[in-house]
Amino acid sequence: MGKKNKQFVEKITAMEENFAQWYTDVVKQAELVDYGQVRGTMIIRPYGFAIWENIRDVLDEKFKETGHTNVAFPLFIPESLLQKEKDHVEGFAPEVAWVTHGGDEELAERLAVRPTSEVLFCDYYSKNIHSYRDLPKLYNQWGNVVRWEKTTRPFLRSSEFHWQEGHTAHATDEEASEETERMLGIYADVVEKYLAIPVLKGKKTDKEKFAGAKYTLTIESLMHDGKALQSGTSHHFGSGFAEAFDITYLDENGDSQYVHQTSWGLSTRIMGALIMVHGDNRGLVIPPRIAPTQAMIVPIAQHKEGVLDKAYDLRDQLKDIVRVDIDASDKMPGWKFNEYEMKGIPVRIEMGPKDIEKEQVVLVRRDTGEKEFVPLAALPTRLPALLDEVQANLYQRAEDHLHEKTNTATNMEEFATILEEQAGFIKAMWCGDVACEEKIKEATLATSRCIPFEQEKVADTCVCCGKEAKELVYWAKAY
């Protein structure tokens, strides 16, 4: 066996033993990512990119259905332009990569490699929006951004990452609010229905909101180790950027008005959630709806006459029904089983001489490991149904885990105990004072994840200071 196979024998670290190492092992051995030469950059390999493409295509379709169009804005931002909105530049300047030379020539002004593109869109909108007839502007961009991070991990925090960033401009604050909520709704919908990851929807506290936003909405998900991951955010800017960039329009009465803006983004970070929500000690588990290969045919005793022919026939028969592939390489079936389990392919189809004789195949689910014998004639209906069952089971399992690891604390002892014993989300009341938020973070490392849309009153007083509580907050340690 060549070097390529060898890696599948090497066991990955058990997640109970060392979750961070398990993550790194899976990312590497499932061939999702390789490390780039520049610190904190990643190479997204074919399998990793194929998953991301599927997520992208689903989102892109929903963006277009809701009237958004794609555009491509430049990679570079002149330093003076980045500095136009005060809060925004403060938030991003420390992690900007700066271009200072073009060829041999030193540039008159440094250029930021975009960490996010608000200022570019604002500059464009200030020149291209004149009348209420020009509104709304509903733009989206798929691309790469750079943030010079100190500590990096593939997908979760990298110096360069891929994402989409939507940037919209509206006539009224209310329309911008609707857009902010609409896009968060799309994120929640795609993450839940396609990625099979249940999410909490809510609003960020002022401390945790996007630099320059009036408010930020978020979806938060829970990883297998009980830590939270911010999975998509949608920001309402009010007219803050419009005032800084002088983006005005003439309304129907001929009066000049500022526009109201939003931005929203979902990135390759979501790949990290996918791994840490569904994965297990045999590797990845990819939900069928976004799996590049939904079913992998592994011929058994393929040297025997007719086996490979039948396996290819099966592939041809299924290929318009599901995303199916076949591994007819000369590796041993056991090696193949390990490889496709590592890659999290939802269903394996085994077919050997005995199966051919009985006109059946063996289906093996990746999520539960259950096997079933299915007559060939029933396969075109049974296989899609099984994929639906796998999809539903993954969601259910993640939801059970989320509920199990969501607990209520009414004082800081309870808070600390829950965090220590099982991590997860902690529901606790908050007075609204940033001082309490900072104190909790300092004492426990947990941060406010969101002020959930579905409010409950689990106590009368703030979990931290004991003063009158204003609202319920979900807290957690987070990636």
Q: Could you say whether residue 465 binds a second copy (CB under 8 A)?
A: no
Task: Rank residues 25 and 160 by Cβ distance to a second copy and give the closer one.
Answer: 160
Task: Rank residues 275 and 440 by Cβ distance to a second copy and give the closer one.
Answer: 275
Q: Could you say whether residue 73 binds a second copy (CB under 8 A)?
A: yes
Which 1-20 residues touch a second copy, going by CB under 8 A? Answer: 2-4
Count of residues that interact with a second copy, criterion CB under 8 A: 62
Task: Rank residues 135 and 349 by Cβ distance to a second copy and give the closer one.
Answer: 135
* Burial grade of 253 (CB within 10 A; 0-12, 13-18, 19 or more): exposed
Binding-site member from 127, 207, 371, 470 for a second copy (CB under 8 A): 127
Contact at 8 Å (CB) between 262 and 157?
A: no
Shortest distance in whole angstroms from residue 85 CB to a second copy: 15
Shortest distance in whole angstroms from residue 156 CB to a second copy: 16
CA distance 11 to 25: 9
Task: Rank residues 101 and 403 by Cβ distance to a second copy and give the closer one.
Answer: 101
Q: What backbone phi and psi angles, to 5 degrees, belong to 80?
A: -65, -35
Other CB atoms within 10 Å distance of the CB of residue 106: 9
Task: Rank residues 69 and 381 by Cβ distance to a second copy and give the closer one.
Answer: 69
Shortest distance in whole angstroms from residue 111 CB to a second copy: 6
Peptide bond into 115 cis (omega under 30): no
DSSP state of 284: -
Contact at 8 Å (CB) between 129 and 259?
A: yes
Shortest distance in whole angstroms from residue 43 CB to a second copy: 5
CA distance readout (Å), 157 to 90, 214, 256, 269: 20, 25, 42, 7
Binding-site member from 11, 86, 130, 207 for a second copy (CB under 8 A): 130
Binding mask 20-59 for a second copy (x = CB under 8 A): --------------x-xxx--xxxxxx--xx-xx------
Which 279-338 residues touch a second copy, going by CB under 8 A? Answer: 329
Q: Could you say whether residue 99 binds a second copy (CB under 8 A)?
A: yes
Q: Could you say whether residue 354 binds a second copy (CB under 8 A)?
A: no
Q: Could you say whether residue 67 binds a second copy (CB under 8 A)?
A: no
3-class secondary structure, 142: strand
Which segment (20-28, 72-80, 337-345, 401-409) binds a second copy by CB under 8 A? 72-80
Q: Which two tokens stand for residue 261?
A: 């803006």
Contact at 8 Å (CB) between 473 and 467?
A: no
* Burial grade of 213 (CB within 10 A; 0-12, 13-18, 19 or more): buried
CA distance 374 to 110: 64
Task: Rank residues 53 and 192 by Cβ distance to a second copy and give the closer one.
Answer: 53
- Tell whether the torsion through CA atoms of 47, 350, 24 and 426 is positive or negative: positive
Length of the chain as a residue count: 479
Which residues, 6+ apart, have CB-to-CB distance to 20 below 8 Å?
none
Task: Rank residues 92 and 474 by Cβ distance to a second copy and give the closer one.
Answer: 92
CA distance 129 to 261: 12
Q: Which two tokens stand for residue 315?
A: 């592939």
Q: Nearest Cα to 220, choosing from 194, 195, 188?
A: 188
Which segment (65-73, 209-217, 232-240, 435-443) binds a second copy by CB under 8 A? 65-73
Binding mask 143-182 for a second copy (x = CB under 8 A): xx-x-x----------xx-x--------------------
Q: Which positions touch a second copy (CB under 8 A)?
A: 2-4, 34, 36-38, 41-46, 49-50, 52-53, 69-78, 81, 93-105, 110-111, 113, 120, 123-124, 127-128, 130-131, 133-134, 139, 143-144, 146, 148, 159-160, 162, 329
